[in-house]
Structures are given as structure tokens and as C-alpha cells.
């Protein structure tokens, strides 16, 4: 069997015809296998959804109880038979509940890794390399200039800035699912034990992380705080809120942004970020190339991001590689998921 008969790129997403399902479909389908809870991968309206329990819970938080006809949870390492194929989940290290999907039929195994990172994250299960024949990789940071720094050192920058400017409020833009909780956990690991304030849009997801046993310390809603009392504090907010009317409640706000994009100065300056923190939930260039090599796959399919450079690199390594040209997947950091709550709670 040819790999493209096992998994085929279609307009709705990657389709497994022999298994009768799509992976991370961008349009409603009968049966969907979802890698993780970010909204570009996990969309509502499918007939049946197979995902980890955490991903299902996060989808429920975002879309309500009836986000799909029926749901089925699969744990990391567990396999399930769908049609003529076997589907197995493996941790992707991206956010809580993120899974790589291994699809096996006969002697052929394809791994759709979704979004992943191979570095430490105290808020989710570490990434696993899954040997396979075809590895499907993202390429969000698929250029050799993207080499993410040590996340702990980046958080140290934030804390020393907060110490140097005790009269300013530090606003940290971070995507509400995953990045925010990881940044909070890293801040706690660095020994900071004062309250950390949250934008309204992050409360539910962060509460969920805490309910899954991830200790994040003293968290408080920023809503209702007096302006003067926010001097010297750290607040996490969705990236778009940090440049919004919402920031007027803070005394002399200093804008930080935790994202892999912050590696490139022009990107940080375009957003008016004063304190860029290079913290990413995606693999950097070294992580992508290291992982591609480690899977032992002879063929690499590259999905969303900077496909060109990674495809070129694969060719120099003697690997067959091609861009999948799937549309509908973006970088969650640029997603504007906060406009509604921030506008309505601008009191």
C-alpha cells in the first residue's frame, strides 16, 4: 500500500479512507481524530470525536457540552481499531492532552504529530519519538533562525524586569491554552510566589489545568482590581488583549509576549512588545530536524508553517519530503481569541 492511500490530504484535512476518519478536520466530518485542543485543530460539529480525555474536556470548555455527536477518549499508548487501521496515541508535548496520532495498516505506519515540542514543559506529558515510515511534521518555526531559548532563562528576564520596575504592571501576552499555564508554572519554579493575575479569558482553562493536578500557586482574576494595586504585579492575558483598551486599567503597563516569534526582533517590534520572551510550545528548528531524524522515517510530509526550508533540509539529508499544503492551521499566538471578553469586561 502506498502511504498516500493510507492518509490523503483533502480539503477538510488529512483523511484516512481505510479507517473512515479525518485528523484535525477544518470542516465538520463524520468521524474526527483530534490531536489537541487549540481551536485551529479542534473544531466543533463533528459526528464522532476521538481524542485524549484532556482534549475532549478542553473542547467542552470552549464549545459547550454538545460540541460533537459523541466522544471517545483514548489514552497515550492505547490503540484502537478503526475500520481497517489501528490508531495509537503518543504524547506530543505541545499542551495538556496533546497527542501524536500513529496510523498503522499492514506493515505501514504513518505518524501525524499535530503540533509538538521536544523540550521540557512542566504542564504536560513529554514528547515521545515514535518510529514510523512516514512522519507528518508541522513547520511553524521551520527556519534555522528559530532556536528557542531556555524557557527558564526567559522567565528570569520577566522577573528581573518586575523587580527593576516595581511601579509598572507587567502584562504577559500568552495564548490562553497551554502557553499561559506553562509560563505560570515556570514563574513558580523560579521561586516567585506572589499572586499572579489572569485576564478573564484565561480563567476557565487555567482552572482546568489546576483540576488536573498542575500546581500553579495563587491565581487571581484581574477584574475588579484597583489600578494602583496592580503596580509591580504580573498579569497573563491573551496576546491581543495586551494592545487593547483593556490595558488602561494598569499603571504604566509593560508589555511582554511569550512566543517563539519573539526570536525575531522585527516581529516583536511590530507588535509593540517591550519585553519579548522566547517561549514556544512548538519545536524549534533544532527540535524539528532532530525529531525528523529520530523517527527514522524515510518520507516526511510537512504541514503548516515555513515548509520550504524544512523540505529543503530533508532533501539534503536524503529524505523524501513534500509540503502537504493543508490550509486552515495557523499559529495560535496570532489568533484573536480574546476580543469579546476583553471588550465586554472593560469596566
Partner 1 sequence: MNRFAELLDRLAYEPGRNNKLRLITAYFSETPDPDRGYALAALTGTLSFKHAKAGVIRDLIAERTDPTLFALSYDYVGDLSETVALMWPSSPLPAGERSAKAAGLEPGEGDQSARRDDTPSPAAPTRIDLSPAGRGENIVAVAARRHNNPPPPTLTEVVATLRTLGKAELPAQLARWLDELDETGRWALLKLVTGGMRIGVSARLAKTAAAALGNKDAHDVELIWPGLAPPYLDLFAWLEGRADKPINRDPAPFRPVMLAHAIEDADFSTLDAADFAAEWKWDGIRIQAVSGRDDRGHIATRLYSRTGEDITRSFPDLVPSLHLPGAIDGELLVVRGGRVQSFNVLQQRLNRKAVTPKLMKEFPIHLRAYDLLADGDNDLRELPFTERRVRLETFVAALDDPRIDLSPQVPFATWDELAAARADPTSAGAGTDAEAVEGVMLKRRDGPYLPGRPKGPWWKWKRDPHVIDAVLMYAQRGHGKRSSYYSDYTFGVWTNADGAEQLVPVGKAYFGFTDEELLQIDRFVRRNTTETFGPVRHVVHEPDQGLVLEIAFEGLQRSARHKSGIAMRFPRISRLRWDKPPREADRLDALERMLTSETAAGGY
**Residue 27 makes contact with partner 1 by CB under 8 A:** no
CB of 301 to partner 1, least distance (A): 16
CB of 248 to partner 1, least distance (A): 5
Residues ≥6 apart with Cβ < 8 Å to 187: 155, 158, 159, 196, 234
**Residue 204 makes contact with partner 1 by CB under 8 A:** no
**Residue 54 makes contact with partner 1 by CB under 8 A:** yes
CA distance 75 to 68: 19
Q: Is 269 exposed, middle or buried (0-12, 13-18, 19+ CB in 10 A)?
A: exposed
Site for partner 1 in 248-267 (CB under 8 A): 248, 252-255, 263-266
Cell of 243: 494592545
CA angle 152, 141, 153 (to 5 degrees): 10
CB of 268 to partner 1, least distance (A): 6
CA dihedral 37, 6, 301, 77 (to 10 degrees): 50
Among 208, 246, 261, 301, binds partner 1 (CB under 8 A): 246
**Residue 93 makes contact with partner 1 by CB under 8 A:** yes
Residues ≥6 apart with Cβ < 8 Å to 91: 76, 98, 99, 100, 124, 125, 126, 127, 128
**Residue 327 makes contact with partner 1 by CB under 8 A:** no
Among 40, 128, 207, 299, binds partner 1 (CB under 8 A): 128
User: Candidates 22-30, 31-39, 149-157, 323-331 — which segment interacts with partner 1 by CB under 8 A?
Assistant: 149-157
CA dihedral 328, 35, 201, 343 (to 10 degrees): 10
**Residue 196 makes contact with partner 1 by CB under 8 A:** no
By three-state DSSP, how is residue 95 classified? Answer: coil
Q: Which is nearer to partner 1, 9 or 41 (CB)?
A: 41
CA distance 282 to 148: 9
Among 35, 104, 240, 338, binds partner 1 (CB under 8 A): 104
User: Candidates 31-39, 114-122, 194-202, 226-234 — which segment interacts with partner 1 by CB under 8 A?
Assistant: 114-122
**Residue 47 makes contact with partner 1 by CB under 8 A:** no
Q: Which is nearer to partner 1, 30 or 152 (CB)?
A: 152
**Residue 150 makes contact with partner 1 by CB under 8 A:** yes
User: Candidates 27-35, 172-180, 217-225, 306-314 — which segment interacts with partner 1 by CB under 8 A?
Assistant: 306-314
Among 149, 159, 225, 231, binds partner 1 (CB under 8 A): 149
**Residue 227 makes contact with partner 1 by CB under 8 A:** no
Site for partner 1 in 267-286 (CB under 8 A): 268-276, 286
CA distances from 124 to 91, 117, 165, 212 (A): 9, 11, 32, 10
Cell of 231: 503596580
Q: Which is nearer to partner 1, 29 or 222 (CB)?
A: 222
User: Candidates 18-26, 38-46, 208-216, 224-232 — which segment interacts with partner 1 by CB under 8 A?
Assistant: 208-216
CA distance 156 to 152: 6
24 touches 45 (CB < 8 A): no
Task: Report the DSSP pairing between strands 31-33 and 21-23.
Answer: parallel
**Residue 120 makes contact with partner 1 by CB under 8 A:** yes
Amino acid at each position: 500500500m502506498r502511504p498516500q492511500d493510507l492518509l490523503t490530504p483533502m480539503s477538510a484535512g488529512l483523511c484516512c479512507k481505510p479507517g473512515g476518519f479525518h485528523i484535525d478536520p477544518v470542516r465538520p466530518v463524520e468521524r474526527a481524530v483530534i490531536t489537541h485542543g487549540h481551536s485551529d485543530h479542534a473544531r466543533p460539529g463533528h459526528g464522532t470525536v476521538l481524542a485524549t480525555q484532556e482534549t475532549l474536556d478542553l473542547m467542552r470548555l470552549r464549545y459547550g457540552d454538545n460540541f460533537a455527536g459523541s466522544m471517545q477518549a483514548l489514552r497515550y499508548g492505547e490503540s484502537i481499531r478503526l475500520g481497517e487501521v489501528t490508531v495509537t496515541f503518543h504524547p506530543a508535548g505541545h499542551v495538556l492532552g496533546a497527542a501524536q496520532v500513529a496510523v498503522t495498516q499492514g506493515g505501514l505506519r504513518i505518524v501525524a504529530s499535530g503540533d509538538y515540542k521536544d523540550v521540557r514543559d512542566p504542564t504536560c506529558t513529554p514528547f515521545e519519538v515514535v518510529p514510523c515510515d512516514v512522519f507528518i511534521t508541522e513547520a511553524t518555526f521551520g527556519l534555522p533562525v528559530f532556536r528557542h531559548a531556555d524557557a527558564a532563562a526567559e522567565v528570569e528576564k520577566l522577573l528581573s524586569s518586575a523587580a527593576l520596575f516595581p511601579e509598572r504592571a507587567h502584562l504577559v501576552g500568552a495564548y490562553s491554552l497551554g502557553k499561559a499555564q506553562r509560563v505560570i508554572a515556570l514563574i513558580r519554579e523560579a521561586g516567585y510566589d506572589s499572586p499572579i493575575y489572569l485576564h478573564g479569558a484565561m480563567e476557565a482553562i487555567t482552572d482546568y489545568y489546576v483540576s488536573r493536578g498542575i500546581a500553579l500557586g495563587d491565581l487571581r482574576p484581574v477584574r475588579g482590581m484597583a489600578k494602583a494595586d496592580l503596580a509591580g504585579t504580573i498579569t497573563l492575558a491573551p496576546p491581543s488583549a495586551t494592545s487593547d483598551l483593556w490595558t488602561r486599567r494598569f499603571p504604566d503597563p509593560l508589555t511582554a509576549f511569550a512566543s517563539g516569534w519573539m526570536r525575531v526582533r522585527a516581529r516583536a517590534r511590530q507588535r509593540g512588545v517591550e519585553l519579548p520572551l522566547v517561549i514556544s510550545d512548538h519545536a524549534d528548528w533544532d527540535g524539528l530536524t532532530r525529531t525528523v531524524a529520530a523517527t527514522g522515517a524515510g518520507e516526511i510530509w510537512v504541514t503548516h508553517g515555513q515548509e520550504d526550508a524544512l523540505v529543503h533540509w530533508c532533501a539534503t539529508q536524503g529524505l523524501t519530503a513534500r509540503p502537504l499544503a493543508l490550509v486552515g492551521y495557523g499559529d495560535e499566538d496570532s489568533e484573536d481569541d480574546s476580543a469579546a471578553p476583553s471588550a465586554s469586561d472593560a469596566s
